[in-house]
Chain A
């Protein structure tokens, strides 16, 4: 699915930042509110990089839990389902504080 085209975007970012150096690992943060499946991403990573200089690299995905803050009572709730309801007062006027990340954080490169 879209994990394939996402992997191609990641490849672009990796190649630009690695500037020709050997890449050993690529570290991502993926928020749990994203509909991006880490295992599928890792699988697609090997698929799109087969026969390329990135074939030996691994994709390491850190999953970031979703948390919301309530605008009426200021409570912060970590949510395990996509239901945006304050855990303290059941209000629905909430803002998402974490869980929407989709970042390439670091690269592990061979030392020159």
Chain B
């Protein structure tokens, strides 16, 4: 290790005069204090997005889940139900394709697709700059509600604000009861949890009570809606949740 001295604001910093020490470096090492949050830049951009949403009177919801929990399937029901009363825009995060965006076509909603592929393969989450890049393709001023379908992933979307006012999480009962304990960050950050694929309950060894116990351990007061994109169960409540949280 090199030799350090603390950067000290009261006294300024003084250089070590003995150039060359046991560190193997030709010059001394100076430690400077930075104290910056790694997500500062993302959070600044998220604040800018949120300011744009506020100015346009739009409520933004960040919709997150593991891959295949049912975000797009539930959104189809959501758009169908809200069509004609709530003007909805969708930002679709999809790693390579436009499949999910195409599935949401035909419900009168404005859909803006973000392909997250980059030099390292697909990005595993949406961040605030990506969502910002999708906004020019949406008529924000004519919308009431913007839903951001995040990339299916239980880990990192929760770490990145995109400018949302509220977070909704879709959990499918095919995923196992212990998921809240294994992926607490997302479960804790959710403002509502949709317990989806509830139609499959009779066919699975799923212990719903154990799941709720685990969910309460990480997020004691979160509201829960049991849903099915197969039967439409819970879609009305979910749409109420979305509408109740609109501005104004």
Instruction: List the A side residues contacting B188 at CB < 8 Å.
Output: 82, 84
A14 to chain B, nearest CB (A): 8
Q: 8 Å CB contacts to A: which residues of B1-25?
A: 2, 4, 7, 15-16, 25
A2-B125, A84-B220 given; A17·B16 CB < 8 A: no
Tell me the residues in window 36-79 of chain A with beta carbons closer than 8 Å to chain B beta carbons.
Answer: 36
Which residues does chain A contribute within 8 Å of B184, judged by CB atoms? 33, 82
**Cβ contacts under 8 Å, B37 to chain A:** 102-104
Chain A contact patch, size range: 35 or more
**In the docked arrangement, what's the CA distance between A74 and B5, Å?**
39
| A111 in contact with B38 given A84-B218, A106-B32, A106-B33 (CB within 8 Å) | no
**Chain B residue at smallest Cβ distance from A47:** B120
A105 near B: Cβ within 8 Å? Answer: yes
Q: In the bound complex, do residue A104 and residue B218 qualify as a contact, i.e. CB atoms below 8 Å apart?
A: no
**Whole-angstrom distance between the Cβ of A25 and the nearest chain B Cβ:** 8
How many Å from the CB of A101 to the closest CB on chain B?
8
Given contacts A82-B184, A110-B25, contact A105 B156 (CB under 8 A): no
Task: Name which of B4, B31, B34, B120 has the most chain A CB atoms within 10 A of its CB.
Answer: B34
Q: How far is the CA of A15 from the CA of B127 in the complex (A)?
A: 21
- A35: B residues at CB distance < 8 A: 155-156, 158-159, 183, 185
Give the contacting residue for B155; candidates A1, A28, A81; CB below 8 A: A1
Q: With A and B bound together, what is the CA distance between A107 and B185 in angstroms?
A: 28
Task: For residue A52, give the distance in angstroms from its CB to the closest CB of chain B.
Answer: 14
B34, A107: Cβ atoms under 8 Å?
Answer: yes
Interface residue A92 (Cβ < 8 Å from any Cβ of B): yes
Residue of B2, B42, B120, B123 near A24 (CB, 8 A) is: B2
Distance (Å) between the CB of A96 and the closest chain B CB? 9
Task: Please indicate the chain A residues that have their CB under 8 angstroms from the CB of B240 in the complex.
Answer: none
| CB within 8 Å for A92 and B216 given contacts A2-B125, A24-B29, A33-B184 | yes
A82 B29 Cβ-Cβ under 8 A? no
Q: Please name all residues of chain B whose beta carbon is closer than 8 Å to the beta carbon of A12 when the two chains form the complex.
A: 41
- Interface flag for B181 (CB, 8 Å): yes
Is A9 close to B, CB under 8 A?
yes
Q: Is the CB of B217 within 8 A of A110?
A: no
Which residue on chain B has the smallest CB distance to residue A109? B30
Query: What B residues does A105 contact at CB under 8 A?
Result: 33-35
Interfacial residues of chain B within 71-126, with CB under 8 A of chain A in the complex: 120, 123-125
Which residues of A pack against B, CB within 8 Å? 1-2, 4-6, 9-10, 12-13, 17, 24-25, 28, 33-36, 81-85, 92-93, 102-112
Name 7 A/B residue pairs within 8 A (Cβ), A-sorted: A2-B125, A2-B155, A36-B159, A83-B218, A106-B31, A108-B2, A108-B4
Which 7 A-B residue pairings sit nearest by Cβ, starting from the closest?
A82-B184, A2-B156, A92-B220, A111-B28, A83-B217, A111-B27, A35-B185
